[in-house]
Homo-oligomer: A and B are copies of this chain.
C-alpha cells in the first residue's frame, strides 16, 4: 500500500471515530438537558469530559497530523468530498495545535472561573467584579490570534470559526445597510398610534394542547419523526446526533403559547437542516451545517417567513382555536397576526422581536470588533454598550445587568459567534427572495404544501452540509454575494403594513 493509500485509510478511520465520539457526547448532552436524574449529573459530567477529551486527542493526534500532511501534499488526487473534508480537519487541527496545551488548559480554567464571576456580577450588576476576568480572557484571545494568524482585521479569524470566510468588511457593509434602514423604521413604529393589541396572547393555553399543535406543525413542515423526537427542556434546542436522529426540544408556558409554538417551529427549522444533510457525508466533518449563520437562517426562515406570515394563519388559526380554550374567540385573524408580530425597542437580546434583534447583535459586533482591533478597552465596555443601545435602539439600560452583563458568551471566552445570529436573518431573506422565482411562497403556505419549501431548502442548502461554504451557498442560490436588501425590503413592507405607517 502506498503512503497515500495509507493516509486515506488512517484519515477515514480517524474521522469515523471522531464522529462517533461527537455522536456519543451529543446524546449525553441531550439526555442531561431533557430528563437525566439530577443526582447523576455530576458523574455524567466526568463521562462527558472523558469522551470530549478522547475526540480532541484524535483530532490533534500525530496520526492525524501525518495523514493530513500526506493528503494535502496530493490535493489533486483527492475527490472533491475528501479534499473538503481534509481541509476542514486541517482547520480544526491548526486551531488546537497552534496553542500550547498548557496555555489552552489555563484558558479553559479561566473561562470556568469567569462564568462563575459573571453569574455573581449579573445578579449584583457589578461590572467591576467581572472586569479583571474579561480583561484576561481578551488578552489570552489576542495571544491566540497571534498564534492562529489573521488576514486584515484580527477579528476575522474569530468570526471565521463560526462563519467561514466572512470578514469585517462584509459585515460592516451589510450591518450598516440594515441599520440605516431599521433605525428610522423603528423610530416610526415607536411614534405610530397603531400598535397591535396583545392582551389576548397571554391567557391560559393548556400545555398538552400546545404540544398537540406543535406536533401538527412539525409534521406539516416535513420533520421526520422516525428520525427524531420532541422533548421538553429549560433552554430549548435542536441537536443532530446523525441525520437519522435529530431531536427537537421545546418548553411550555401556559400564559404565553408563543414560547412553545414559535420555539418549536424555530428548532424544527434547525432540525430539518440536519435531517436532510446527505447521508454520504456521515462520519466526516462535512456532516454538519455550512456555518452557524446558515443554520440560523433555517430556523429563522421557518419561524418568521413561514410561522409569522399571514398566509400560515389562514390555515392554522382555526386549528389553533380548536386547541385553545376561548382565548381567541373574539379575536379576528388579522388582529391575531398583528399581535404575534408586535415590535419595539427592548433591552434584552433574547426577548427581542424580529425587527430589532439585529440591532442587539450589532451592539455586540461593534464591541467585539473594537476589542480585538484595539479600538476599545474592557473597562470602557459598560459606557460603550449603553451609548450604542441608545444610538441603535433609542433606549439606555438602567444598569449593567440589563446591559453589558446580560449574555454569558464573553465569560465563556466565545467571541465571533454573535454576528452569525444577524447573518441568519440576512441569509433567510435572500433565500426567501430566490425561492420566489421557483414558486410563490404565499401560495405554497396557503395551500399547506410546506413540503415544497423543505424540498427546496434541502436541494439548495441542507443536503450540502459543509460541502459548500456560506458564500458559495449564497452565490449558487442567489447568483450574487451576501446582500441585506432583501431583509430590508421584507421588514419594511411587513412592518409598514402592520403599524400602518403610510
Q: How far is the CA of A283 from the CA of B37 in the complex (A)?
A: 19
**A241 in the interface (beta carbon within 8 A):** yes
Nearest 5 Cβ contacts at the A-B interface: A40-B245, A20-B50, A39-B244, A39-B227, A40-B244
**A35 in the interface (beta carbon within 8 A):** yes
> Judging by beta carbons under 8 Å apart, are B24 and A24 in contact?
yes
Q: How far is the CA of A31 from the CA of B34 in the complex (A)?
A: 12
**A23 in the interface (beta carbon within 8 A):** yes
A49 neighbours in B (Cβ, 8 Å): 20
A24 neighbours in B (Cβ, 8 Å): 24, 28, 47, 50-51
| In the complex, residue of chain B having the shortest beta-carbon distance to the beta carbon of A231 | B35
Q: How far is the CA of A35 from the CA of B231 in the complex (A)?
A: 11
**A78 in the interface (beta carbon within 8 A):** no
**A46 in the interface (beta carbon within 8 A):** yes
Q: How far is the CA of A229 from the CA of B39 in the complex (A)?
A: 11
| In the complex, residue of chain B having the shortest beta-carbon distance to the beta carbon of A247 | B37
Q: Known contacts A37-B225, A40-B241, A40-B242; can you find 6 more A-B pairs with CB under 8 A?
A: A16-B46, A20-B49, A20-B51, A43-B245, A46-B283, A54-B54
- Contact A37-B282, Cβ < 8 Å, known A17-B50, A23-B43, A47-B23: no
**A21 in the interface (beta carbon within 8 A):** yes
| In the complex, residue of chain B having the shortest beta-carbon distance to the beta carbon of A245 | B40
Specify which of B39, B42, B244, B247 is in contact with A42 (CB 8 Å cutoff).
Answer: B244
**A44 in the interface (beta carbon within 8 A):** yes
Q: Per-position contact with B for A18-41: 1 when CB-CB < 8 Å, else 0?
A: 001101100110010001111110
Count of interface residues, chain A, beta-carbon cutoff 8 Å: 37
CB distance from A408 to the nearest CB of B (A): 26
**A151 in the interface (beta carbon within 8 A):** no
Q: How far is the CA of A14 from the CA of B46 in the complex (A)?
A: 14
A224 neighbours in B (Cβ, 8 Å): 39
**A228 in the interface (beta carbon within 8 A):** yes
- Please give the count of copies of this chain that the complex contains: 2
> Judging by beta carbons under 8 Å apart, are A245 and B20 in contact?
no
| In the complex, residue of chain B having the shortest beta-carbon distance to the beta carbon of A54 | B54
**A226 in the interface (beta carbon within 8 A):** yes
A interface list, Cβ under 8 A from B: 16-17, 20-21, 23-24, 27-28, 31, 35-40, 42-44, 46-47, 49-51, 54, 224-229, 241-242, 244-245, 247, 282-283
Q: How far is the CA of A27 from the CA of B34 in the complex (A)?
A: 13
Q: How far is the CA of A478 from the CA of B117 in the complex (A)?
A: 55
> Judging by beta carbons under 8 Å apart, are B37 and A242 in contact?
no
> Judging by beta carbons under 8 Å apart, are B37 and A226 in contact?
yes
The residue among A24, A39, A40 with the most chain B CB atoms within 10 A of its own CB is A40
Q: How far is the CA of A190 from the CA of B379 in the complex (A)?
A: 88
CB distance from A188 to the nearest CB of B (A): 47
The residue among A16, A37, A224, A226 with the most chain B CB atoms within 10 A of its own CB is A37
| In the complex, residue of chain B having the shortest beta-carbon distance to the beta carbon of A242 | B43
The residue among A17, A47, A224, A225 with the most chain B CB atoms within 10 A of its own CB is A47
Q: How far is the CA of A29 from the CA of B183 in the complex (A)?
A: 53
> Judging by beta carbons under 8 Å apart, are A43 and B282 in contact?
yes
| In the complex, residue of chain B having the shortest beta-carbon distance to the beta carbon of A225 | B37
Q: How far is the CA of A109 from the CA of B485 in the complex (A)?
A: 60
A241 neighbours in B (Cβ, 8 Å): 40, 43-44
| A and B contact pairs by CB, cutoff 8 A, 27 listed | A16-B46, A16-B50, A23-B43, A23-B47, A24-B24, A24-B47, A24-B50, A24-B51, A27-B31, A27-B47, A37-B225, A37-B228, A37-B229, A39-B224, A39-B227, A39-B244, A39-B245, A40-B227, A40-B241, A40-B244, A40-B245, A43-B242, A43-B245, A43-B282, A44-B242, A44-B245, A54-B54
Specify which of B17, B35, B38, B44 is in contact with A23 (CB 8 Å cutoff).
Answer: B44
A21 neighbours in B (Cβ, 8 Å): 50
- Contact A20-B46, Cβ < 8 Å, known A27-B27, A27-B31, A28-B27: yes
The residue among A39, A225, A228, A282 with the most chain B CB atoms within 10 A of its own CB is A39
Q: How far is the CA of A228 from the CA of B40 in the complex (A)?
A: 8
Q: How far is the CA of A492 from the CA of B21 in the complex (A)?
A: 54
> Judging by beta carbons under 8 Å apart, are B229 and A35 in contact?
yes
> Judging by beta carbons under 8 Å apart, are A47 and B20 in contact?
yes
Specify which of B38, B42, B226, B283 is in contact with A38 (CB 8 Å cutoff).
Answer: B226
